[in-house]
Every structure is written in C-alpha cells, then in structure tokens.
Amino acid sequence: MDTFVIGGGNRLYGTTRVQGAKNSVLPILAASILNGGISEISNCPDLTDVTCTLRILRHLGCEAYRDGDVIYVDSSGMNKNSISDRLMREMRSSIIFMGAILARTGSAIISYPGGCNLGARPIDLHLWALRELGATIDEVGGYIVCKADKLVGKDIYLSIPSVGATENIMLAATAAQGTTRIHNAAREPEIADLQAYLRAAGTNVTGAGTSTIQIEGGSRLRDVKHRIIPDRIVTITYMAATAAAGGEVTIEGVEPQHISAVTSVMREAGCVIREERDRIHIRSDRRLRAVKPIRTMPYPGFPTDAQSPLMAVMCTAEGTSVFVENIFENRYRCASELMRMGADIRIEGRVAVVCGVPKLYGTKVAATELRGGAALVIAALGAEGESEVSGIEHIERGYEKLDVVLKGLGANIERKTVSVPEE
C-alpha cells in the first residue's frame, strides 16, 4: 500500500485543470446500458471507482474500454442482470445499476453496495421508489432481487432529496409506461449531467436542477456522445490546498457557479478569489480567519463532501469555526488524525468546533475515507515538517493523480511505495 510523503511549507503557484466529475461519470456509465448501443463519454477521470464500474459493465456483457479520457461502452451485447457481491462491495455507486438493469431487462439481482464508511448509508428510498414504479423487491440470501413485468410512471415524493435515489428513479423511469415525476428531487449538478446524457440518448426528461424532475418513459434510445461536467469537489480541494499552503493558483475547466457556497466561505476566511467563465483564480497570502458556522446541506447548500477539506483549512485560521454535518453521521473521521497534527477540534455528535492554532505539525496519519483523506493531504501541505499519509487508496477513489497535480503546483509531495513483507 503506497503512501504520500509531504514536506509542508511550500506555497502553491501555477495553473492546473480539473478532472471530470466522479459523481457524474459513475451514474452515466450505469445509464449507458439503457440504449443497447454505443455511448462515447469524454472527460472521464481515471479513478479506481471508474475502473470498477467498467468491470461491472463488462461483467454484464457490455464492451467497455477507455482511450485517454474517453470511455466507449457498447451495451448491445448485455446478457446478464446480476452483479456479484464482490463487485458491488467495491463502491457505493454500484447501487445505481439497480434502476438501470431493471429498466433494460425487467429484473435485477444485486447485493448491498460498499463505498466510504460514513455511518449508516441506507438504500431504503431507492427500494421504496422502485416499488412505487411497480417493481417487486425481495431479499434472497443477501441479494436484492428486483423484478417488474411492467414499470408504470407516477408521482414520487422523496422524503430526503437523495442524490442516488433520484438517479435510480430517473434511470428506471426511462422504461416506465407514462410519466414519472420526482418531487423533492436532488438538485446537484451531477443530476443535471445525467439528464443531459439521457436527453442526448433520446429520453424526454426535464427539470433536473430544480426540485421536480419529469421523465417520459418508453422512448427508443439511440447512440450517444456526452462530455462529463467538471468535478466541483476536486476544484474545491485544490482551492482548499492553496488556502492552507498559501500561494496563488488558477484552476481551469471549472464551473464556478457549482461551488458558490464554498467560494463565499473561502472569501470570508480571507482568500482572494476571482471567477471567470470556466476558471477560478485563488490567492491566499496571510493567516486566514475563522468563518461563520458551516452547515452542510443538499445542493445548492454547502456540500458535505467539502466539509473535511474546509475543516483542514480552518484548523490554522485565527478564531473558532463551527461545522454542523447534516448529511452523513460519521463524517468527522479525519478529525482525530488532524488532531495528531496539532489541531484543536472538539466533536459533539453532528457538531465540530475547530479552534484555530497557529501551526500544524507533520506526522504519520492515516486516511480512512475519500474526502477525509484529501483533508489530511491539505493539512500536511500547510504543516511544519514532514507528514506521511497512508490509506491513499481511499483518496484515489476520487482524485486523479493528486500528487502529480500538487507537485506541478510546487508542493513537496512524493508517492512512496511501501512493499508488503513476504510471508
């Protein structure tokens, strides 16, 4: 298992380009089984979660391969409707295949998904919504067996604007008879990207980005070309890295309006940020200040995925910052590692109180999940001395060549291959 060895204290300077959005490419790859034809999807990040999704597609009988940042899927030969436990456990997003397989074949057999351990991550809404569309769902030997002779469109009222449930319903509804309307739908940009893919494939779907999405089922779908939107969380991570280390960085290929909730917090902390059409320029040249309480919310609120990266920044800001995590219950797992670096953080349930200290000190820390792992890298960049971040396989589920990008901006970061002793 490799580690990142980071010498803190280098300021970051220069220009980098952001990768395509992980949370878009995964559901869109699942959607690629719907047309029984070809999907050419560009701006795909090269991530372990994406590789895992390609494995699932091949397992289902599709042809799926990558050429640079383009992924080609030919789903005409799809001949399976089940995903093994081993493949499902590799990541949470595999649950999105349920709605897609059901729509394509009328039945789906999958086990419970894996993914980051952020506390209970139920899929009750996914299952409930598919039942609402007419599917029967049983649990047999640890597998979820989902069947529908016929899916019928209807009004679905989500109790929580779940991103995954919204996506699953959109996919299943493409094969439903009539109109499906999702009320209290998630409004994340990745949902709008899924809509753009589905529309390009010939589905009449509207409303993504608002709380009501309408899908007309039963259209004949065609081959499709689609470009994935930029990854807003990776953009935020590069900005947080610059904020923590100091310096001046331009990030290209971004959608500034997707990250407004975070940009305003960073400005409040004292970063100077300039937004252009598809670029963001950030400068951080003095000690930052604490900010008003940050409450994570569904989009367009402050994203839960940005909470840990921002916490790493606020560890050394002047004053006390408060975080309230409203989406996932177990999202402060990196706090104990940040404390090993000298941070002053108190956690009480969903609330974290961060008293800024003048400095963090490099040490050995362990990433246990994706965004918390990125937070440790951010903290290490601004810390005094050397840090070694282990568990980077969690980070690489969502960041393409994070070490290479940061090194390109002047960071002192090396990937160290740790050989496992032979038995």
According to CB under 6 A, which one of 5, 6, 18, 26 is a site residue for ligand UD1?
A: 26
The reply on whether position 308 binds ligand UD1 by CB under 6 A is: no
Which stretch in 80-88, 97-105, 300-308, 343-351 sits in contact with ligand UD1 by CB under 6 A?
A: 300-308
Which residue type, as a one-letter code, is found at position 105? Answer: T
Number of C-beta neighbours around residue 126 at 10 A: 25
Q: Is 288 helix (H, G, I), strand (E, B) or coil?
A: coil
Over the window 166 to 205, marking each residue x when it contacts ligand UD1 by CB under 6 A and - when it does not, the resulting string is --------------------x---x---------------
# residues near ligand UD1 by CB under 6 A: 22
DSSP output for 123-174: -HHHHHHHHHTT-EEEEETTEEEEE-S--B--EEE-SS--HHHHHHHHHHHT
Which stretch in 163-171, 252-260, 286-294, 306-314 sits in contact with ligand UD1 by CB under 6 A?
A: 163-171
Give the nearest distance from C-beta 329 to ligand UD1 in angstroms. 7
Q: Which of 129, 48, 37, 138 is nearest to 87 (CA)?
A: 48
Per the residue annotation, which of 44, 52, 116, 315 is the catalytic one?
116
Give the nearest distance from C-beta 22 to ligand UD1 in angstroms. 7
CB 299 within 8 A of CB 187: yes
Residue 62 falls in the annotated catalytic set: no
CB 271 within 8 A of CB 243: yes
Give the nearest distance from C-beta 27 to ligand UD1 in angstroms. 7
CB 73 within 8 A of CB 32: yes
Q: Which of 160/290 has CB closer to ligand UD1?
A: 160
The reply on whether position 162 binds ligand UD1 by CB under 6 A is: yes
Q: Is 317 helix (H, G, I), strand (E, B) or coil?
A: coil
Within residues 104-143, the interface with ligand UD1 by CB under 6 A covers 121-126
Beta bridge partners of 294: 323
Indicate which residues carry an active-site annotation. Answer: 116
Binding region for ligand UD1 (CB under 6 A): 23, 26, 92-93, 121-126, 160, 162-165, 186, 190, 303-305, 327-328
